[in-house]
Structure 1
Amino acid sequence: MKLLLALGLAALATAQIPIPKREVGFVYNSGSPMAPVHLDFYIDQICPDSKQAWPTILKLADTYGPSVLQLTTHLFPLPYHRNSFYASKGSHIVNQQTKGANTYLWIQTVYSNIDSLTNAVTLNLSDTQIIDKYAAIASGVGVPVATFKSLILDDTIEMDTRVEWKYCCTRGVAATPTFMLNDILVAADPSWTVAQWKQVIDPLLGFHASKRQMSTRTCPAGVKQCEYLPGKVECCKTGEFCIPNVGCRC
């Protein structure tokens, strides 16, 4: 019996995550796959912090342009946001029905309606009523109500949404928003401005970073102060060097 249990657990541990039919995520503004900087933006559509970061990240992508920075948005619906999975399914529906033209408009519109989609506000609503809310939003971005309601139950849409969530898990995502530059996690804050992001990205492009907004933290006399990310400062020990985007290291 113990052997069977062990074999069962081993099978679960090595289970193959479904391989998607296309690359996961939604690319903004036809960002070039050959762009020198790739920014992966992991969001929950009912997450206030994701909403806060959303306009800045889009402005950042516009600032560099699609040939320099490819922005890809990934949907990671958190289980404690009751209505988030439907929002993510809606993104896949709109992406399919508008051939990607209105996907970002849909996400923006959901954020504009976030106050009516929270757990507290929808506590006494049925799933059918919540789907009706999303169908009404979809009708404003080019997807008829009847089409949306039909596709919200579609097996392909369901699987695409699940696979994207599982993909985010494989990347170690556990909260939203999460940011990765060229596949490396960035300890960014949702309140970061475009100027703060440029302090991280410009050096990757060989540009001289703009003057940093130094933290109020100060190091003892004779100890090197290392601002490795905007607002993140370490005091380097003897023999350590300040490495951009990393911090004090030997």
Structure 2
Amino acid sequence: MVAGRGSVWLLVVVIVGAGCFERCGAQLPIPARTDGFVWGTSPAPAWGGAVVVEAFFDPVCPDSRDAWPPLQKAAQHYGAARVAVVVHLFPLPYHSNAFIACRSIHTVNKINASAVYPLLEKFFKYQEGYYNQPTYTKSRATVVDEITNNLVAPIIGEANLAAYKSGFNDSQSDQATRISFKYGCARGVTGTPYFFVNGMPLGDSGSPVDYNKWISTLDPLVGKM
């Protein structure tokens, strides 16, 4: 009887594994534009012309919040011509409001791309109010309204709120946020913050990297340009 149960479980594992393999082998949706938001004034990362740092952040992740200032400081030290920074949004499934936060940023990007980083930093500053516990008894609609009124409105202005609300509820912002998550998964991202330098994963990913570590990592690469 024990052997019979073992055979049944083995069959279940094989079937589930085969299903997962088939899904993993399916073509992921190809976005109309490359995922991520370039920091600074450069319209696009200078691939091949600068050291490219890619950071995967969750707007309501405390480690992402702590990781941004030292990376920003390091990027300012070198300048956009030598170090380009691209932030990818990665809504962690165990942060209840992460998808809403990321969708908000994608929506704002459609209205005013220059407002993306101010809104991301606004989320970082006030993220504790959107952790799981403080919002446990609140409905999704209530959380969305609070984010709209308390975080988004001061960034984009009252005149753009109607466009924001419309964009937040359309399929494009939903799809863009899903693609961001799938893009991170396709790159092997398992948590935030997660960093790539010139396409290679940084060993310190998963926790904030301090300024001195960034300098010691980037200096040899910038020196070879």
User: TM-score normalized by structure 1?
Assistant: 0.76
1:1-250 equivalences under 5 Å are 9=19, 11-31=22-42, 32-34=45-47, 35-98=49-112, 100-136=113-149, 137-142=151-156, 144-188=160-204, 190-206=207-223
Superimposed CA distance per residue, residues 36-74 of structure 1 (whole angstroms, 9 cap, x where no aligned partner): 200000011110000001111111111111110110000
Who is 2:6 aligned against? none
Superimposed CA distance per residue, residues 123-180 of structure 1 (whole angstroms, 9 cap, x where no aligned partner): 1100110000111111111153333222221101111110111000011000100111
Q: After alignment, is 141-150 or 116-125 more displaced?
A: 141-150
Q: Secondary structure at the match of 1:140?
A: helix
Q: Name the aligned partner's letter for residue 138 of structure 2.
A: L
Check conservation: 1:131, 1:149, Cα contact below 8 A. no
Distance in 2 between residues matched to 1:191 and 1:106, nearest whole Å = 20
Check conservation: 1:28, 1:70, Cα contact below 8 A. yes
Check conservation: 1:41, 1:73, Cα contact below 8 A. yes
User: TM-score normalized by structure 2?
Assistant: 0.84
Q: Name the aligned partner's letter for residue 77 of structure 1.
A: P
More helix by share: 2
Distance in 2 between residues matched to 1:170 and 1:14, nearest whole Å = 11
Higher relative contact order (CA 8 A, sep 6+): 2
Following superposition, the deviation at residue 191 of structure 1 comes to: 4.4
For the aligned residue pairs, the C-alpha RMSD in angstroms reads: 2.0
Structure 2 runs not aligned, ≥5 long: 1-10
Q: Name the aligned partner's letter for residue 44 of structure 1.
A: D
Structure 1 runs not aligned, ≥5 long: 208-250
Q: Name the aligned partner's letter for residue 204 of structure 1.
A: L
Q: Which has the larger radius of gyration?
A: 1
Q: Percent identity?
A: 31
Moved >6 Å (runs of 4+): none
Distance in 2 between residues matched to 1:192 and 1:18, nearest whole Å = 31
